[in-house]
Amino acid sequence: MTTFDAFDTEPLLPDTLPESPFPILAAWLAEASAKALTPNPNAMTLATVGADGQPSARIVLCKSLDPVAGTVVFHTNFRSRKGHEIEENPSVALVFHWDHFERQARIEGDVERISDAEADAYFATRPWERRLGAWASQQSQPLASRQALFEAATEKILELDIDIAAAVRGDPVDIPRPPYWGGYRVVARRVELWHGSTGRLHDRAVWERELPVVDNAGWRTTRLQP
Ligand SMILES: Cc1cc2nc3c(=O)[nH]c(=O)nc-3n(C[C@H](O)[C@H](O)[C@H](O)COP(=O)(O)O)c2cc1C
């Protein structure tokens, strides 16, 4: 049937949906990062559910994405609220929202820890202040005052014997990764890509697969009504 001329019928997702959503997701993230219209284009909402069934959500940064494996990595403190909830229940949800591009990506999946070697390699790339911060902050624990946080940071400088003069000069300083800090890899089970369009006739598609992935089994995909 022909459609009313005023409709913008240009497909926003390909007419024939690709086998995996990840090449599109990677391209959307790359485009948002390249255009840098917001300070953190790699920001995503992470929802976790603890043993009591109460969902909680917060923003974390996507630090890498493996389009072949269908995985997304973020880094955090394993002893934080999210860390405890993930240890109790590894099923999580992620949402990217690129408002300027009218795009949303929703990911649901299971979390596993990245290896110590991978976490060390990423931690070493962080500016010294952030590496110190990972030691000074017992993320999600009560804090008596802001001053107490600076005192904790100062104590850590002494305890870890950090050459602070060198750090301030911009010289490399050795600050190891705290054992309770590292990366989580979300292995996607369900991915939904959403592209906004006029008249709320958005384009929306979902890809699903079983976890664990056996024999490179692929995704089932379908378009969804907006
Ligand atoms: C833009 C932005 C990026 C953030 N990135 C991270 C991150 O990558 N990892 C992290 O642990 N917290 C990050 N945070 C802080 C979290 O949102 C959250 O406050 C913190 O992780 C504690 O959450 P929890 O108590 O639920 O564990 C970020 C916050 C914002 C606003």
Residue 174 lies in a domain: no
- Residue 85 within a domain: yes
Closest CA relative to residue 193, chosen from 73, 14, 1: 14
143 found inside a domain: no
- For the Cβ of 76 lying below 6 angstroms from any atom of ligand 1, the answer is yes
Measured by CA distance, the residue closest to atom 14 of ligand 1 is 60
Q: Give the Cα separation of 90 and 156 in Å (integer).
A: 31
CA of 58 to the centre of ligand 1 (A): 6
Q: Quote the pLDDT of residue 217.
A: 85
pTM: 0.94
CATH number of the domain residue 83 falls in:
2.30.110.10
**Does 192 map to a domain?**
yes
- pLDDT recorded at residue 201: 86
User: Which residue's CA is the closest to the ligand 1 atom numbered 3?
Assistant: 60
C-alpha dihedral sign at 31, 37, 41, 47: negative
Residue 29 domain-assigned (yes or no): yes
**Cβ–ligand 1 contact at 157 (below 6 Å):** no
Sign of the torsion formed by the C-alpha atoms of 128, 131, 135 and 140:
positive
Gap from CA of 103 to ligand 1 centroid (Å):
22
CA–centroid distance, residue 44 to ligand 1 (Å): 10
The answer as to whether 5 is a domain residue is no
**Residue 126 falls in the annotated catalytic set:** no
| Contact between residue 85 and residue 142 where contact means Cβ atoms under 8 Å apart | no
Q: Domain for residue 164, yes or no?
A: no
Closest Cα to atom 31 of ligand 1 = 59
Residue 211 domain boundaries: 22-127+179-223
Tell me the best of 40, 42, 58 to mutate to test the pocket of ligand 1, counting ligand atoms within 8 Å of each CB and taking the most.
58
Q: Is residue 156 part of a domain?
A: no
- Verify whether ligand 1 is closer than 6 Å to residue 42 (CB atom): no
Which member of 103, 190, 200, 223 is catalytic? 200
| Contact yes or no for 68/77 (Cβ under 8 A) | no
Structural domain total, the chain: 1
Going residue by residue through the chain, which has 226 residues, state the pLDDT in tens, using 9 for 90 and above. 666 665 665 658 999 999 999 999 999 999 999 999 999 999 999 999 999 999 999 999 999 999 999 999 999 999 999 999 999 999 999 999 999 999 999 999 999 999 999 999 999 999 999 999 999 999 999 999 999 999 999 999 999 999 999 999 999 999 999 999 999 999 999 999 999 987 888 999 999 999 999 888 899 999 999 9
